[in-house]
Each structure stands twice: as C-alpha cells, then as structure tokens.
C-alpha cells in the first residue's frame, strides 16, 4: 500500500465517521414515543346520529355523516395544508379558511388547491351498536372510499 | 465647567483606558485613527480606510449595518424575554399575557422584539436589492452573496420559528400550514411527489414529523421551535454574519471598486463610524416609537379545533400563501422557495459581465436589473393580493369590500392532462407538450439570430395572442374576458420570457445561458399556471395521482 | 452636522426611553389602588372622630394612616381552578386582607365592595381568595387594564357577564339550579327552552333532535365562528351594537330575540351560489304575529340566552359540581291519564319546535309547499322580494288543523316513519331544500306507550282548539 493510498483510507474513515455521525444525529430527531391522544375512539351509538353532518366529535377532528344509505366519517383536516375546514350546512359544503379548498359532503375536493379528497377514517360498529372510529387507518380515493370499512351501509 | 475635550483626553490617555484599548496615547493622527480600527476586536471588522463612495448615504443606505443592528436588538430583547417565558403549551400563552400585563416594560420589550423582527425581514430584503442593483455580487464577491442569501433565508426562518412561541391562534395555524408544506417535500414528505409511493413516507416518519416532533403541532413542536428560535438558528446566523463581515472586509468593503481605477480613501474613524452610529440611533428611535404606538398582536389561545377564517400567514409569507392558492403545495411551498434560494445563489455565477459594478446603472445591466426587479415586484404583488384582497374562505375581496358580502362559491376546477377519468387529455401528451413548451421558451431566444425591434415584436405577439383569443371565442366559445387574460399573460410572457432574453443574453455561453433561461422559464411558468387557473379554472396542468405529482 | 445629529438623537433616545419607563410605571391601576386606600382611610378617620375613647380613636387613626401608606402592588388570586385573577388590583374592596368586613359605602366602581345578592354574602359562600372572580364574572383575569380585564376586546373569548346574565355561571356548577335561590333567571331560560321545543331541533349534548347544531358547548363557541356574522344588522332594544359588544352573548341573544335571517347571510334565489341557501327555520320569537301574539318577550329571550351561556364543556373539577337543593326532576314521570302523558311526550321531544306550542301553529318551513302560495307560473313574474316572501309561506303542519284527518293508527305510523328529508314537497322545485322535516321517530326512541299516548293526546287537540280558532 502506497503512502497516498494509506492517507486516502484515513480520509475514507473520517468521511465514514462524519456520515454515521450525521445519520445518527438525524435519527435522534425522530421521537420514539409521542404524547398524542389515541387515534381510536368510541363515537357512541350509531343510532344517535341523525341524518346529516354531525359536529359532535369535532374536538377529535372527525365529522360523522349519516345519510339515508349509511354512515361514514371525514377527518376534519384539510388535505392541502392541514387547517380545519368549516361545514356550511346551508351550502352543504366544507370550506377551508386557509387557502379556500372546497369539499362536498362526501369529502370530494371540488374547488381550491387541495390535491386530494378528505380522509375517511376506518369505522366499525360493535355488537352493542357503538361506532368505533379509527383515525390511524384512512382512505381517500374511490372505490374504497365508498366501501366498508370506510362507509358502513345501514338499513 | 471643565473643558470636555480636556476631560476626554485625560480619560482616553489613562492607564485603565489604554489597557483596554490597545495602542499608545491618543493623538488623532491618521495612524492613530487606523490603529483605532485595527487594534480593536469589535472595530476591526471594518477596514482602516474606506472609499469615499462607501460613505454616501444614497449608495448603501446603511441597510447592511441596520440589518446587523436589528439583529443585535433582537438578541438583546429576545434574551430578556426568555427570562419570563416557558415553552409549554398553556404556560407559554400565560407568560406572554404576564409580559403584557405584569412585567415592568414587558409589553414594550415584546413590542420592540416583534417589530424589530418584522423590520429586519424588510431591511434584509432591501439590502439584497441594493447589493444586486449596484452589481456588488460579482467577482470576487460571489461566495459572500451566497452567504447573504443564506442569511436572508435564516432571517425568515427565525421569524417563522418565533411565530409559534406565543401559542395563540395566529401561531398555531401559521405553523400548521408552514410545517404541512414540509410534508409536501418530494421524496421526503408524506404528501409530496414520490413520498408515499416510493419512499414509504407516513405521517409518523417523514420530514414534517421531525420538524413537529409529532404528527400535529403540540408540546414537542413548541419546545423544538423554542430551541431553534432561541439557540440553534441565532448561533448559526451569528457564525454566518461573522463570515459575511469578514468577506465584506477582505473583498474590499462596500462600494465595490471600479475595475483598476484607484479611488481616494477616507479614514473609517470617524467618517464611517459616525454614520453608522446615526443610522443605528435613528433605527432604534423609530423602533421605540413604533413599539410605544403599536402593540404586538396576541390572538386568543391556540385552539386546534377552530381555524380563524381567513387565516393569514405573516406578511412576508403571504405571497407564498397566495401562490399556494394556485399550485400544489410541493410546488408553491417547496419548489418555489427552493428555486428562489438556489436561483439567487446562482446569480453571481451566471452573470459574468464585468459591467455595472459599484454603481446603480440600468443601462449597463438592462437584463439583470429587469429580471431581478420583475421577481421582486411579483413577490410584492403576491403579498399585496394575499394580504389585502383575500377574505373569508380565502375568497377574493377587493380592499374596499366588506368581508360580510356574500361571494359566489368557487367554480369546480378540472385537470388538463392526467390519467383517464381525472384529466381531460392523456398524461403522456401533457408531459410532452409541457416539455416542448418549456424547452421552446428556453431555447428560442438563442435560436433567433436577428436583432428584433422590441416594440414591433411585442406588438406582434399581442396581435398573435388576440387572434388566438378570437379563434377560441368563436371556435370554442371561450368568453372574451378569458381571452383578455390570454392576451395579457401571453404578451407579458413573450416580452419578459423571450424577447428580452433574445435581445440581451443570446450571446452568453451555453451553460450560463441554459441556467439563466431555466430560471426565467420557471418564473414564466408560474404566470402560465396562474393564467390557466384564472381564465380556465384549470387546477393542474398535469396530474399523476398515484405518485402525488401535480403540476 | 453629524455632531448635531449625535446630540439630537441621543436626547431623543433618552426621552423616548424615559417616556416608555414612565408609562410602564404609571398604569391606571395604581391610581385606582391609591384612591381606594385614601377613600378607605378617610372613611376610617371620619369614623374615628365619632369614637369617644381617645385611645381607640388614636389607634384607628393610626390604622387609617397605615392604610393610606400601603405600598401599591399587583394583587392576584391563584384560584383553585388553576387560574390567575388580578381583579382585586383595582377592585381593592374585594380583597379580604385589606377589607376584612368585605363591606363599604362606596358606590362608584372600582371602589365598591361586593354587593349582597338576595341577602347572600358571596365571600362566605364562594370565598374570593379560593375561587377568584372570573369563574363567575368571566373576563380576563390576568389583565391589569380595565378594558382588557373586562374582556370586551378583540382577543378575549369570554367578556364580563353583566346583570342577570351572570346566572349562567351559577348553572355551570350548580346542577339542579331550578330550585336554588338567586338562579331564577337561568331556570326560567331552561324552562322556556324546553317549553318552546328548542330541543326539537337543537340537541344538548346529544339529548334532543339533530335538525341543526348541538348546543352542548355553545358557550365555548370560538370567536372565529362568530366573526362572520353581520352584527351591524343586529338591534338590541332598537339600538345598533358598538363593535366591542359583538360578543357571544349578543350573538346568542340576537339568534333568540330576532329573526336570525336578518343577520345570517342567505341566498334563497341562488344569486351567489349555484345551490340556493334557505333561511333558517327559526321564528322571529319576539315579534308580534298577525294576531298580535308574541311568543317570547325580550326578557324571555335574555333568560334563554343565559341558560345557553351555561352550556359549556369546560372542565370543572368534580368536587366543585354542586348537586343542588331540592328534588331532582323525575326523568320519566308516571301519568295515570294517557292524554296528560301524551301532552308531556309532545313537550319532551320538542315537537313544538316545528308544530308550535301545543301543536297550534306550524312553523315556517322555507320553500315547503304551504297554503296560500300563488301558483308557480305566477311566481316567475314576481320581484325578488316577493318571490322570497312567497317561499316563506311554507309551513310545517298546524296539528290542530290536520290531526282530524288521521285516525289513531295512521297518526302512530306517520310519527313512527316520518317524512324523509328529501321527500318534503318543495314549493319552488329550483329553490332551496326546506330546512325542517319530520324524522322517523321510531329511530329516535319514541315508541310504545309514549307514542300511543301522544297520538291519543293529538286526537284531542284537533277538536278542542278548532273551536277557539287557533291562537
């Protein structure tokens, strides 16, 4: 091994040290535990939701929507940049105050800059008739958008 | 009454004074004055002598010095504020209330800090404008210009991180929006192109998650932003400021020299120092009066379940917010800022012309000045639109209109090119057409070899686009008002994107030419998209939903 | 030149900084506090002059002198709820360490002591040093200027509750406030709320119907949601509201006391939006109708507002919830008489919301097919205002007039199955969806004996009220 190669190996080792150090420093910034409320909650008996958009669970950032055909949820986070859209009962539209995205009652984006539809959370009805909403499993594109467990048909 | 001059002499010549400030007895000779600068650690960031032009107010406007002075004011007031502030949700808001109501001079201090931060953003931008217009970024100052661009970015980042600390509604939602833009980063964000599909980015492992320390803005975010705002970024900024100053001094100080001509020089002490003092004092005075007259805003406490309507970013980001209305977040929130930063840094390397260094001259640098001013003016037009013309639900309200006025719901948008069922035409066609149009704008100026008459060519373009509008009107029933948008934007883009470059930079070597034209074409591309949105309600020119790529 | 500027600027800097310090050192609360100490000391000296015993008089004068020289400071109460109330900084008479009797003769604020309300000494029942002030009065406890502390400012959600409205705060902790002394106003509000069938459209925490917004946390409604309303059109006592009164309290009051249509933007003719927007189905409760009848007085509206202001989801520690005095109302009282039971059921489910008190007057159901509307061909020729007036003639059925056309079983079926929202006949087919509809009550727990007795009662009102010609 020549002198130059030896030195090169040394530089290589230094570079490797730097890279590993940078990588581990980067990893350091990913918290392993976070203190956030559970993504899954019990929204109460499904029969208690009347037809229309229920704001009852808005503090969990979920709208529960009951139609004549069934029930589905929408997560109240704009798919553009995360503001909370408002429900306009009279126009039957969700409108976001930050950049003007407009969604239909089904959660479909019809105007404004948001690139995707609103998330629909995973729903489940327990044997006791309670509606379990799981925000960690979501769907935003048809056809799954309109199928269980993101839309539960009710008689 | 004792003679002040005598007293001063006695103090300055005393052993204590001389032990602190190096050098022998003071006798106001040129050598002493030079020594005053060189022999003092704080003063020697400035040379002993400066060119006479550097002292003219109308040359530098003192903007760099004022920026630094504002930084010092911010550090001092910020450190004081830290004594009363705890970065915990709930407590943070209460501590700001305490500063307002129960701390001696607390309100004044917070006002000074807030307004100094806003002023610093403005002054740093103006400083950059001044440096550009006087050609002071050219060799050998290329690197220092880049450092300056980073300093500007860090100034904005400091403002942004500080925005969260009061933990009010303004703070929470501005930061929600800002960090979600990071989530739209290509490859690294969960909502960015190729992020989820290629890199398996989720809410809990992407770049946004690192920034927030969680999946939503919460306690972790607050402490992260606190550390960034109070320690990490100011340290970095301080280090870079030292580098910036060192290069300013080594590269011949401000007022870049005219080539080989030697200019008369004056002593820095007292000529420059007295001007700097006056600038700083005037700045501080304005700041204090401002802080006495106008209180820093403090909204109601942060509420993650209700977004204010409309929610606006701080003014210097409102331009971006306005652009976010027209573009997918990965373009408006990630690409545009990054292209601006990289483009600014590229300027000294793509502008090899030795003309117009050290003076304001439009004649010597018509292309550079036109394009740079165009960019700055566009930026401020966007700020104006976002700040004064947007109302509830981010709808368009003229400044004189009441926000209670009912506005029609926005029309449904559509996509031009995309997969079946989404776009009107196929994706491949769109990509090909956009590529062709882009390379057309990039290449055309160099391919036209003739000297064109600017007036005639512009008129020609206008007539051409009017014809297009008329054809669309009678062929495809596009209303004339939409045709007017096409004529306006088409002529504008032909003028600034093709005719001006054709006139001025077609002789540039290919490498520099291409980089320049790509930047120009990107700027024009922004206008094309805005035109498409305003005139035809087109949401995306091309969309590939499977990889979250929307243009 | 620079020498002159140097001197000038330095003087200016000193002057501005001195002014800033002076301003910071001279807040208004210092004036109030000093004035109070002086007033209290004066009163004490006056009292001392009446005392015969010179030693006692001297001692009292000494005390007065001490009071006069009390150092000024920001006083604060750290409340058991974790809040900070600095109200006693100005309202010194409420500080029991300065004014142990908690009484004085001053009438002017901020010097007056806390009054006895209905003879109750509030400091005894709700010790101020423990509970603070804002738990009842609302306002911004941390603030030290009068305007900010009273909370009628842009960035404060809960400004002072004034007058009888303060009873809203009582009802937040005192369950069963209907029987407690001093809470009559909020109790009246609750009674009226249920009597007029408000719960027939607005549930409270899920109890009631879901035609529109649940009012369970209406008192927490964030400012962001109030700002878009056109307060400039709201009139209270015939007067426009100054901007600092654009508060939640007045927002609720305006909804109850006047037709919400007058300040909520609607778009029945689809001028602005592709889909027309119906006005709310709510009634102008405090206006006279054609027969000179008025359902609510402004006082009633204020009582209902007070009740609604008590509905909050703010967490109050359980040990501060008071069960209250007197018997709890029976959630399911027993009736021997099916007719009386039916009437009770009618009120329980809020049927009055749509059908009027005792079913005697159907409410407006905008753009529903109602009696007395001109034909749609003629409608096209009307002016915009006339069109809207025509569409407003839509009504929910007035039960006293229609129940006669049903037999018992038909009524039971109708109530059980309801009329789906989409099936409500529209007067103008291009107009907005009528806001009210008959829900399928079997899905909402109305069944069995309740349903049976309700139908029984309904069949009795048809005859009895028709003879009186409605109201």
CB contact under 8 A, B305 and A95: no
pTM here is 0.90
pLDDT band at C150 (very low <50, low <70, confident <90, very high): very high
Query: CA–CA separation, B335 vs B341, rounded Å?
Result: 10
Q: How many residues are listed for chain B in this entry?
A: 551
Structure tokens at B434: 């956009």
With 60 as the cut, is the pLDDT of residue B543 above it? yes
Number of H helices, E strands in chain A: 1, 11
Q: Is B209 exposed, middle or buried (0-12, 13-18, 19+ CB in 10 A)?
A: buried
**Omega prior to A149 cis, within 30 of 0:** yes
Handedness of CA C248, C250, C254, C260 (dihedral sign): negative
What residues of chain A lie within 8 A of the CB of B216, using their CB?
A: 36
Q: A46 with A24, same domain?
A: no
Inside any domain, residue B397 = no
Burial of B509 (0-12, 13-18, 19+ CB in 10 A): exposed
Confidence of residue C430 (pLDDT cuts 50, 70, 90): confident
- φ, ψ for residue A134, nearest 5 deg: -120, 105
pLDDT at C465: 44
Tell me, yes or no, whether B419 and B526 share the same domain. yes
Banded model confidence at residue C313, pLDDT cuts 50, 70, 90: confident
In Å, how far are B190, B197, B207 from B201, measured between CA atoms?
5, 8, 9
Domain assignment present for B541 = yes
Pairing of strands B414-417, B423-425: parallel
Instruction: Summarize the confidence of residues A124-150 as an average pLDDT.
Output: 90
What is the token pair recorded at A5?
């190669």
Question: How many angstroms separate the CA of residue C232 from the nearest CA in chain B?
Answer: 10
B378 and B444 share one domain? no
* Residue B123 shares a structural domain with residue B24: no
Which of residues B551 and B83 earns the better pLDDT score? B83
> Which residue is it, tokens 């070597």?
B509
**Calpha distance B199→B205 (Å, rounded):** 10
Over residues C281-287, the mean pLDDT reads 79
Q: Does A122 share its domain with A148?
A: yes
Q: What are phi and psi of C393, to 5 degrees?
A: -75, -10
Q: Give the strands of the sheet with A86-88, arranged side by side.
A: A86-88, A93-95, A102-104, A109-111
Domain annotation covers residue B281: yes
Distance between CA B392 and CA B228 in Å, rounded? 33
CATH number for position B216: 1.20.810.10
Q: Do A91 and C275 touch (CB under 8 A)?
A: yes
Residues of A within 8 A of B418 (CB-CB) are none
**Secondary structure of residue C282 in the 3-state scheme:** coil
Find the angle CA(B534)-CA(B540)-CA(B545) to the nearest 5 degrees. 160
Please tell me whether residues A28 and A78 are part of one structural domain: no
Residue range B349-357: mean pLDDT, rounded = 86
Is the Cβ of B377 closer than 8 Å to some Cβ of chain A?
Answer: no
- Look at residue C190 and tell me whether its pLDDT is greater than 70: yes
Mark yes or no for CB contact B395/A100 under 8 Å. yes
Residues in chain B within 8 Å Cβ distance of A115: 191, 328-329, 548, 550
Q: How many angstroms away from the CA of A48 is the closest CA of chain B?
A: 23
Write out pLDDT tens, residues B448-478.
888 888 889 999 999 999 998 888 888 877 7
How many Å apart are CA C445 and CA C439, to the nearest integer? 11
C273 touches A: beta carbon within 8 Å: yes
Query: Are B121 and B193 in the same domain?
Result: yes
Mean pLDDT score across all residues of chain C: 86
Quote ipTM for the complex.
0.89
Q: Are residues B355 and B449 in the same domain?
A: no
Same domain, B377 and B437: no
pLDDT digits (tens, 9 = 90+) for B187-237: 888 888 888 888 888 888 888 999 999 888 999 999 999 999 999 999 999
C464, pLDDT greater than 60? no
The pLDDT value recorded for residue C469 is 37
* Residue B310 domain flag: no
Give per-residue pLDDT as tens, B52-80.
888 888 888 999 999 999 999 999 999 99
Query: In whole angstroms, what is the distance from residue A51 CA to residue C419 CA?
Result: 12
Nearest Cα to B150, choosing from B333, B409, B344? B344
- Mean of the pLDDT values across residues B335-360? 90
- Answer whether residue B463 is part of any domain: yes
Distance separating alpha carbons of residues C371 and C381, to the nearest angstrom? 19
CA distance B498 to B56: 38
C220 Cβ under 8 Å from any chain B Cβ: no
A90 in the same domain as A31: no
Which has more confidence, B430 or A52? B430
Note the pLDDT of residue C466.
45
Instruction: Give the number of domains in chain A.
Output: 2
For residue B105, list chain C residues with Cβ-Cβ distance below 8 A: 20-21, 24
For residue C144, give the nearest of B102, B303, B403 by CB distance: B102
Are B382 and B464 in a shared domain? Answer: no
Residue of A nearest to B332 (CA): A113
The alpha carbon dihedral of B249, B254, B258, B264 has a sign of negative
The span from the CA of C273 to the CA of C276, in Å, is 6
Residues A113 and A86 in one domain: yes
What ranges make up the beta strands (E) of B364-422? Answer: 414-417
CA torsion angle B85 B88 B92 B98 (round to 10): -60
For residue A51, give the nearest of C206, C225, C421 by CB distance.
C421
Q: Domain check: are B442 and B514 in the same one? A: yes
Extract the tokens encoding C20.
Answer: 């800033």
Q: Say whether both B387 and B510 belong to one domain.
A: no
Full residue range of the structural domain in which residue A23 is found: 1-35
The answer to whether C411 touches C377, Cβ cutoff 8 Å, is no
User: For residue C277, what is the nearest residue in chain A, using CA coordinates?
Assistant: A90
Q: Is residue B47 part of a domain?
A: no
Query: What is the least distance, in Å, from the CA of B306 to any CA of chain C?
Result: 7
Interface contact B530, partner A, CB < 8 A:
no
C14 touches chain B (CB under 8 A): no
Give me the residue from C214, C273, C422 closest to A55, CB to CB: C214
Whether residues B305 and A79 touch (CB distance < 8 A) is answered with: no
Cis peptide leading into residue B270 (ω within 30°): yes
More confident residue, C188 or C240: C188
Q: Are residues A66 and A84 in the same domain?
A: yes
Are B357 and B138 in contact by the 8 Å Cβ rule? The answer is yes
Residues A124 and A81 in one domain: yes
Looking at chain C, which subunits does it touch, using at least 3 CB pairs closer than 8 Å as the criterion?
A, B
pLDDT at B48 over 80: yes
For residue B408, which residues of chain C lie inside 8 Å, CB to CB? 272-274
Question: How much is the CA Rg of chain A, to the nearest whole Å?
Answer: 24
Cβ-based contacts of B406 with chain C (< 8 Å): 265, 267, 271-272
Whether residues A25 and A57 share a domain: the answer is: no
Residue among A104, A42, A122 nearest A67 (CA): A104
Q: Which of the 8 DSSP states describes residue B419?
A: S
Confidence of residue C470 (pLDDT cuts 50, 70, 90): very low
Task: Determine the structural domain holding residue B239 and report its residue range.
Answer: 60-304+321-392
| Pair B184, B327: CB distance under 8 Å | no
On whether both B131 and B265 belong to a single domain, the answer is: yes
> For residue A91, which residues of chain C lie inside 8 Å, CB to CB?
273, 275, 277
Report phi then psi at A135, rounded to 5: -80, -5
> What's A91's domain CATH number?
2.102.10.10
User: Averaged over C185-194, what is the pLDDT?
Assistant: 93
Task: Look at residue C463 and tell me whether its pLDDT is greater than 60.
Answer: no
What is the nearest CA distance from A140 to chain C, expressed in angstroms?
25
B308 contacts in chain A (CB < 8 Å): 97
B53, part of any domain: no
- Is B311 within the bounds of a domain? no
- Cα–chain-centroid distance for residue C120? 24
CA distances from B360 to B247, B260, B504, B515 (A): 22, 18, 18, 25
The Cα-based distances of B319 to B69, B322, B386 in angstroms read 27, 5, 6
C219 to each of A63, A78, C143, C227, C248, how far by Cα in Å?
20, 26, 21, 15, 8
Count CA atoms closer than 13 A to C441's CA, side-chain side.
Answer: 23
Residues B9 and B74 in one domain: no
Burial zone of B462 (CB within 10 Å; 0-12 exposed, 13-18 middle, 19+ buried): middle
A13-22, B28-37, C307-316: which has the highest mean pLDDT? A13-22
Sign of the dihedral through C-alpha B457, B462, B468, B470: negative
Q: Is A66 in the same domain as A17? A: no
Position B259 scores a pLDDT of: 65
Tokens 């005859």 correspond to C463
Q: How far apart are CA B476 and CA B486, in angstroms?
A: 14
* Residues of C in Cβ contact (< 8 Å) with A50: 209-211, 439, 444
Same domain membership, residue A121 and residue A67: yes
Please, are residues C158 and C150 in contact by the beta-carbon 8 Å criterion? no
* Segment of A19-23, B298-302, C317-321 carrying the highest mean pLDDT: A19-23
- On the CB side of B297, how many CA atoms lie within 13 Å of its CA? 12
Q: Which of A31, A98, A112 sits opposite B307 (nearest CB)?
A: A98
B395: chain A residues, CB-CB within 8 Å: 100
Determine the Cα–Cα distance for residues B531 and B522; give it in Å rounded to an integer: 14
d(CA B60, CA B253): 11
CB C149 within 8 A of CB C138: no
The CB density around residue B534, as the number of other CB atoms within 10 Å, is 13
Residues A8 and A58 in one domain: no
pLDDT grade, residue C249 (50/70/90)? very high
Average pLDDT, chain B: 89
Q: Which domains does chain C have, with CATH numbers?
A: 27-160 (no CATH), 164-331 (1.10.760), 333-471 (1.10.760)
Residue C17, chain B, CB below 8 Å: the answer is: yes
User: Are B305 and A98 within 8 A, CB to CB?
Assistant: no
Q: Do B34 and B105 have their domain in common? A: no
Confidence of residue C178 (pLDDT cuts 50, 70, 90): confident
pLDDT at C467: 40
A46 CB-near residues (< 8 Å, 6+ apart): A66, A71, A125, A129, A130, A131, A152, A154
pLDDT at B177 over 80: yes
Identify whether the C-beta of residue B70 lies closer than 8 Å to the C-beta of residue B123: yes
Closest CA to C104 of C50, C163, C195, C37: C37
How many domains does chain B fold into? 3
């Amino acid at each position: 091994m020549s002198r130059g190669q030896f030195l090169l190996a040394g530089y290589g080792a230094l570079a490797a040290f730097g890279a590993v150090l940078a990588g581990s420093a980067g990893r350091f910034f990913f918290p392993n535990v976070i203190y956030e409320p559970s993504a899954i909650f019990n929204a109460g008996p499904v029969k208690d939701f009347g037809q229309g958009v229920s704001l009852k669970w808005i503090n969990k950032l979920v709208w529960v929507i009951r139609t004549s055909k069934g029930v589905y949820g929408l997560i109240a986070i704009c798919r553009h940049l995360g503001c909370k859209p408002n429900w306009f009962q009279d126009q039957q539209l969700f409108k976001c105050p930050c950049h003007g995205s407009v969604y239909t009652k089904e959660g479909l984006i019809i105007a404004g800059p948001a690139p995707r539809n609103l998330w629909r959370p995973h729903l489940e009805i327990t044997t006791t008739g309670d509606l379990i909403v799981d925000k960690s499993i979501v769907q935003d594109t048809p056809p799954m958008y309109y199928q269980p467990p993101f839309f539960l048909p009710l008689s | 009454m004792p003679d002040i001059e005598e007293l001063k002499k006695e103090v300055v010549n005393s052993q204590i004074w001389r032990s602190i400030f190096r050098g022998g007895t003071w006798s106001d000779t040129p050598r002493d004055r030079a020594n005053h600068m060189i022999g003092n650690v704080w003063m020697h960031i400035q040379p002993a002598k400066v060119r006479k032009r550097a002292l003219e107010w109308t040359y530098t406007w003192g903007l760099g010095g004022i920026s630094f002075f504002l930084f010092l004011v911010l550090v001092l007031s910020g450190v004081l504020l830290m004594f009363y502030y705890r970065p915990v949700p709930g407590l943070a808001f209460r501590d700001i209330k305490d500063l307002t109501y129960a701390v001696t001079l607390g309100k004044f201090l917070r006002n000074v800090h807030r307004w100094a931060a806003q002023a610093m953003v403005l002054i740093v931008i103006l400083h950059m404008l001044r440096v550009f217009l006087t050609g002071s970024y050219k060799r050998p100052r290329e690197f220092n210009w880049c450092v300056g661009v980073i300093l500007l970015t860090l100034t904005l980042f400091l403002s942004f991180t500080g925005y969260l600390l009061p933990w009010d509604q303004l703070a929470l939602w501005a930061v929600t929006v800002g960090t979600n833009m990071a989530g739209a980063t290509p490859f690294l964000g969960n909502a960015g192109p190729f992020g989820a599909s290629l890199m398996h980015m989720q809410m809990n492992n992407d770049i946004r998650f690192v920034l927030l320390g969680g999946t939503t803005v919460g306690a972790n975010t607050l402490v992260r932003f606190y550390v960034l705002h109070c320690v990490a970024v100011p340290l970095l900024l301080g280090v870079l400021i030292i580098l910036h100053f060192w290069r300013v001094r080594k590269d011949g100080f401000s007022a870049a020299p005219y080539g080989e001509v030697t200019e008369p020089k004056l002593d820095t002490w007292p000529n420059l120092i007295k001007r700097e003092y006056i600038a700083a004092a005037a700045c501080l005075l304005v700041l204090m009066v401002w802080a006495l007259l106008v209180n820093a805003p403090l909204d109601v406490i942060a509420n993650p379940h209700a977004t204010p309507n409309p929610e606006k970013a701080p003014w210097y980001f409102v331009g971006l917010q306005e652009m976010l209305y027209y573009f997918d977040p990965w373009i408006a929130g990630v690409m545009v800022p990054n292209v601006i930063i990289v483009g600014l840094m590229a300027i000294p390397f793509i502008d090899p012309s030795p003309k117009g260094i050290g003076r304001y001259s439009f004649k010597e640098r018509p292309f550079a000045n036109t394009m740079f001013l165009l960019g700055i003016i566009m930026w401020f037009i966007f700020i104006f639109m976002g700040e004064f013309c947007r109302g509830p639900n981010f709808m368009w309200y003229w400044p004189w209109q009441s926000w209670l006025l009912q506005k029609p719901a926005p029309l449904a948008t559509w996509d031009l090119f995309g997969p079946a069922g989404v776009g009107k035409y196929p994706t491949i066609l769109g990509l090909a057409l956009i590529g062709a149009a882009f390379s057309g704008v990039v290449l055309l100026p160099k391919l036209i070899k003739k000297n064109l008459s600017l007036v005639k060519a512009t008129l020609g373009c206008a007539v051409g686009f009017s014809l297009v509008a008329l054809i669309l009107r009678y062929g495809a029933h596009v209303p004339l008002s939409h045709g007017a948008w096409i004529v306006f934007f088409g002529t504008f883009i032909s003028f600034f994107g093709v005719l001006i470059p054709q006139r001025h930079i077609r002789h540039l070597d290919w490498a520099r030419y291409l980089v320049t034209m790509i930047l120009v074409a990107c700027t024009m591309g922004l206008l094309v998209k805005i035109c498409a949105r305003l005139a035809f309600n087109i949401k995306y020119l091309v969309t590939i939903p499977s990889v979250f790529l929307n243009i | 030149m620079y020498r002159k500027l140097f001197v000038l600027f330095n003087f200016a800097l000193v002057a501005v900084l001195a002014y800033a310090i002076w301003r910071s050192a001279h807040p208004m609360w210092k004036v109030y506090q000093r004035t109070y100490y002086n007033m209290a000391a004066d009163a004490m000296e006056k009292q001392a002059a009446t005392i015969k015993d010179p030693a006692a008089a001297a001692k009292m004068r000494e005390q007065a002198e001490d009071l006069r020289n009390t150092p000024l400071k920001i006083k604060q109460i750290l409340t058991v709820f974790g809040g900070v109330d600095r109200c006693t900084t100005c309202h010194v008479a409420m500080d029991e360490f300065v004014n142990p009797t908690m009484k004085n003769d001053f009438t002017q604020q901020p010097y007056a002591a806390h009054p006895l309300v209905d003879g109750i000494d509030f400091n005894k029942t709700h010790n101020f040093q423990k509970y603070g002030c804002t738990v009842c009065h609302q306002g911004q406890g941390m603030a030290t200027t009068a305007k900010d502390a009273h909370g009628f400012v842009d960035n404060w959600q809960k400004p002072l509750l004034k007058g009888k409205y303060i009873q809203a705060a009582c009802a937040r902790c005192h369950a069963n406030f209907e029987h407690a002394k001093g809470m009559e106003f909020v109790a009246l509000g609750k009674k009226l709320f249920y009597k007029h069938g408000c719960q027939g459209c607005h549930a409270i925490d899920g109890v009631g119907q879901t035609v529109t917004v649940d009012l369970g946390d209406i008192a927490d409604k964030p400012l962001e949601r109030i700002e878009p309303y056109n307060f400039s059109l709201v009139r209270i006592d015939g007067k426009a509201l100054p901007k600092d009164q654009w508060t939640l309290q007045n927002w609720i009051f305006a909804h109850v006391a006047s037709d919400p249509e007058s300040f909520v933007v609607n778009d029945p003719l689809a001028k602005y939006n592709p889909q027309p927007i119906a006005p709310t189905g709510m009634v102008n409760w405090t206006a006279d109708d054609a027969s000179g009848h008025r359902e609510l007085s402004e006082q009633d509206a204020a009582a209902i507002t007070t009740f609604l202001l008590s509905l909050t989801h703010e967490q109050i520690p359980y040990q501060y919830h008071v069960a209250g005095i007197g018997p709890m109302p029976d959630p399911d009282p027993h009736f021997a008489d099916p007719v009386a039971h039916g009437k009770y059921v009618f009120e329980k489910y809020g049927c009055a919301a749509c059908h009027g008190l005792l079913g005697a007057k159907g409410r407006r159901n905008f753009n529903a097919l109602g009696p007395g509307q001109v034909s749609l061909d003629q409608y096209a020729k009307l002016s915009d205002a006339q069109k809207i007036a025509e569409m407003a003639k839509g009504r929910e059925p007035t039960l006293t007039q229609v129940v006669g056309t049903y037999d018992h079983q038909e009524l039971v079926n109708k109530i059980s199955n309801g009329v789906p929202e989409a099936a409500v006949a529209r007067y103008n087919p291009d107009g907005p969806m009528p806001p009210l509809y008959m829900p399928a009550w079997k899905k909402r727990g109305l069944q069995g004996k309740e349903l049976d007795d309700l139908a029984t009662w309904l069949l009795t009102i048809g005859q009895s009220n028709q003879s009186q010609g409605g109201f």
